[in-house]
A and B are shown apart, each in its own frame.
Chain A
């Protein structure tokens, strides 16, 4: 659709603008633009510093260390890596999802719902709500959570407390907010006590109410200017994710379903242990991050999107009543089988937040959740594959081990990699439709960031040492000479160096 903007024909004659790093996403991303003398955009690329060294980090370790070790790959979704790794090493001890003890399965699901809830709450209230409440091109001083907390204190505080509740679910199930060791090969290593269960039940009704209010808020924002929200950064794509056998929304375990842009099901209930039969990854010279695609459709037509929008588009229904009602409302908004609006990621994300809150209540009231039979063991294997629907989309962990239990090969496909092409297409759409031909300003450039932010990309940056992350924007002329340079230091001060 907008791939013509991936590579300019004569880049040497164009001036370059970089937005580096993209703010309010996890990790380090950069958008580079090439413009002609009339500010017509000729090339747009989203560059992401990939999860370098992940596989190397894992190889050579004993497999039982992995659920704890992989949490350190990412400071934002450690539980998703923890559970994907646990599902993979279950297979190494001969356990498949169907043979995992019932209580262990339900505890893992509870842990996962807590993780998705806190992650979605953080993204919506902290990172996205400033754009949604104040406008994409509003004063930069307004576009932040602190302004939201000042102007909309109830909404801001709900975001903080939703996030905190999700963290508490994680803490109760795994023992710690981070570095927990809840899931182990073949099950879980800690039961949920009655006191812990009762503690989490105390607030769940309030959490569900706030989650409903969040869905209402995002719907109100989206429908207040439907043509804008439906078209901004919108691209048509395939969608991939896990699904229950019944066709219901699934976050922890299921088969792979793929729908095309018309809503036709291309793949259904596909066993993810054979994912290499349907997914390949393409390398492009200008990007650290690979471009996954469906082999049956090829590189040009086979790219797909994952995450909340994909999951809500792909499922036939949601098996919790409030979220199902919200899903039906969401689907009615579109005039076709699939909702392609990139900004609808936010709406879909809040429907999932509500589903997580409802599911947590169901699980806490299920007697199995306090069961003591938590471990199982089967026949030893040497290869394990775990796939989970992380907050940002399908996450693949694939390990091979030797006779000494040492990991000899590891392959990870993280959600943000699956959305690589989608994010690039969205920023190109925004550049082509909203920016081209205009003098670039910070509010205009924020439109590019808004498009990226809708995907909630996790670019892996658990390192955060004070002073490590300045922001720089540079403007170069056609000869490559720097004509403007703006730096945001870690203390928040801006420095402009006109040359």
Chain B
């Protein structure tokens, strides 16, 4: 029996602020009740992650970003044929498109929590800004996990 809520974090822990997603997952692992939450960490998203979305009620992708205007940003994502399919690393929207094309037309509600980072070099530590952003994102994630429904999460969109 699959757990209804899946949190997928993307990033390489040894590439500076790229560790933001996995670090958020570590926080959830320490702080949250995991009886209904499955945690999955990977360097990057790929086609097979569409299969991880099957039989879920809700999915949260967590990733570092360089293009947020705030410490973090929550958005609801939908299947989209963007250009990330041309690379070894796919966007969450493209993974949903794979789901749509292979499994069925209705993937579970999926949200992306992007956390602002700046430095992604191999061997670097988390930057000071990213540490600050991570703290805020962790606090926000605690709120999300307290009410894990798509309706509640939609009300949180735009915060950050």
Contacts and interface: CB of A to CB of B under 8 A. Distances in A.
The listed residue with most A CB atoms (<10 A of its CB), out of B50, B67, B83, is B83
Given A122-B47, A146-B85, A488-B83, A463 B101 contact: no
A26 B88 contact: yes
A164 B51 contact: yes
Contacts of B114: 466
For chain B, the bracket of interface size reads 35 or more
A149 B102 contact: yes
Nearest to A165: B48
A25 B87 CA distance: 6
A23 B86 contact: yes
A127 B84 CA distance: 11
A469 B87 contact: yes
Interface residues of A, number: 50
Contacts of B42: 177-178
Interface string B17-53: 1100000000000000000000011111011101100
B5 interface: no
Contact of B97 (A78, A146, A164): A146
B65 interface: yes
Contact of A146 (B10, B66, B101, B120): B101
A467 B101 contact: no
Interface stretch (A98-106, A151-159, A307-315, A359-367): A151-159
A160 B123 contact: no
A357 B97 CA distance: 28
B50 A461 contact: no
B66 A466 contact: yes
A149 B120 CA distance: 33
Nearest to B22: A179
B123 A57 contact: yes
A163 B88 contact: no
Contacts of A280: none
Contact of A150 (B46, B89, B101): B101
B101 A149 contact: yes
Interface of B: 10-15, 17-18, 40-44, 46-48, 50-51, 63-67, 80-89, 91, 94, 97-98, 101-102, 114, 117, 120-123
